């Protein structure tokens, strides 16, 4: 993924060192890696409309599965190891489903949200300190 990639199958995603980065882990990807198959996976995820402020981190996620989402390299939203964070994920549609959860930042400042549902139309994920 790159904002300037020229490979034939590159995913045009605005990824650079000047912004936050999301990483995804879901059952199919773990299965492929476990079998030593490094084919195409995680290519279905996109994110956009990032809000990286001291009070909250928000992002619109696109995909079609349940995944763990790791938030990395935030600029203004500071992740402190051992600190608790609340998250919500609003999924559009007739049901207006909202997921909620809690996560703790790891020793290396990584925040992993587990069981986040992504949909092709996009869901809005918000993280705030507790």
Give the 3-state secondary structure of the chain: CECCCCCCCCCECCCCCCCCEEEEECHHHHHHHHCCCCCCCCCCCEEEEEEECCCCEEEEEECCEEEEEEEECCCCCCCCCCCEEEEEEECCCCCCCEEEEEEECCCCCCEEEEEEEECCCCEEEEEEEC
Structure confidence at residue 34 (pLDDT): 78
Structure confidence at residue 4 (pLDDT): 46
33 or 90, which is more confident: 90
Structure confidence at residue 46 (pLDDT): 86
109 or 12, which is more confident: 109
Question: What domains can be seen in the chain, in order of their start residue?
Answer: 21-129 (2.60.40)
Report residue 21's pLDDT band, with 50, 70 and 90 as the boundaries: confident
pLDDT tens digits for 94-125? 577 899 999 999 998 889 999 999 998 999 99
pLDDT tens digits for 29-88? 777 777 777 666 567 788 889 999 999 999 999 998 899 999 988 999 999 999 999 999
């Amino acid at each position: 993924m790159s904002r300037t990639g020229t490979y034939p199958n590159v995913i045009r995603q605005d990824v650079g060192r000047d912004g936050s980065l999301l990483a995804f882990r879901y059952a199919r990807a773990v299965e492929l890696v476990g079998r030593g198959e490094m084919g195409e996976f995680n290519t279905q995820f996109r994110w956009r409309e990032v809000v990286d402020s001291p009070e909250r981190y928000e992002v619109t996620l696109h995909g079609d599965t349940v995944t763990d989402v790791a938030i990395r390299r935030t600029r203004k939203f500071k992740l402190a190891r051992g600190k608790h964070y609340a998250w919500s994920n609003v999924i559009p549609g007739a049901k207006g489903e909202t997921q909620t959860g809690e996560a703790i930042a790891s020793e290396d400042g990584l925040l992993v949200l587990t069981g986040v549902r992504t949909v092709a139309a996009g869901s809005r994920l918000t993280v705030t300190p507790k």
